[in-house]
């Protein structure tokens, strides 16, 4: 994404001038931008809710999909939801308005987020997430070597 910027001879992310050790975070932000510009075209529609201070919920409308049609994976901070259905050639539609096409939805989640549960009921896929409470950051004094 930042390859086209004129940053001199070094190919640094623009934020590296004041932030060191955040390469992973910058890469995740780049992935987030790429994911938001993907070709999903809004299908399936979804909501992201904040239920409590550290509790979240992702809800997807997946009418017509069964549990066996949906795969949910978490890998390298990427929550990926894939739905795929086999076409039933025995059905003869006069009108086919209910979408049952395959889909892939991706969400980038932080290291401190864990997935509690995923349920599918009445065409609604619900994924509950919680932010893990971490210890308060401590201040460390660095002594100069002589």
What lies within 8 Å, CB to CB, of 58 at 6+ separation is: 46, 47, 48, 49, 79, 107, 126, 127, 129
* Look-up of token digits 């004094």: 141
Residue-level pLDDT at 12:
53
CB of 59 within 8 A of CB of 129?
no
pTM over 0.75: no
Report domain extents, the chain: 1-37, 42-131
How far is Cα 57 from Cα 61, in angstroms, rounded to an integer?
13
pLDDT at 2 over 70: no
Whether the CB-CB separation of 62 and 125 falls below 8 Å is answered with yes
Tell me the C-alpha distance between 73 and 95, whole Å.
34
Q: Using one digit for the tens of pLDDT, what is the confidence trace for 95-131?
A: 988 777 899 999 988 888 999 999 999 999 999 999 9
CATH code of the domain occupying 42-131: 2.60.40.790
What pLDDT sits at residue 6? 43
pLDDT class of 40 with cuts at 50, 70, 90: low
């Amino acid at each position: 994404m930042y390859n086209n910027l004129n940053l001199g001879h070094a190919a640094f992310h623009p934020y590296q001038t004041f932030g060191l050790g955040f390469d992973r975070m910058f890469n995740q932000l780049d992935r987030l931008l790429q994911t938001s510009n993907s070709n999903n075209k809004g299908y399936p529609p979804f909501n992201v809710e904040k239920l409590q201070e550290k509790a979240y919920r992702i809800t997807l409308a997946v009418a017509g999909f069964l549990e066996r049609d949906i795969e949910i994976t978490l890998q390298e901070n990427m929550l990926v939801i894939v739905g795929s259905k086999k076409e039933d050639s025995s059905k003869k539609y006069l009108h086919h308005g209910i979408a049952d096409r395959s889909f892939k939805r991706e969400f980038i989640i932080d290291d401190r987020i864990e997935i509690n549960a995923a349920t599918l009921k009445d065409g609604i896929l619900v994924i509950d997430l919680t932010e893990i409470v971490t210890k308060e950051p401590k201040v460390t004094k660095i002594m100069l070597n002589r």
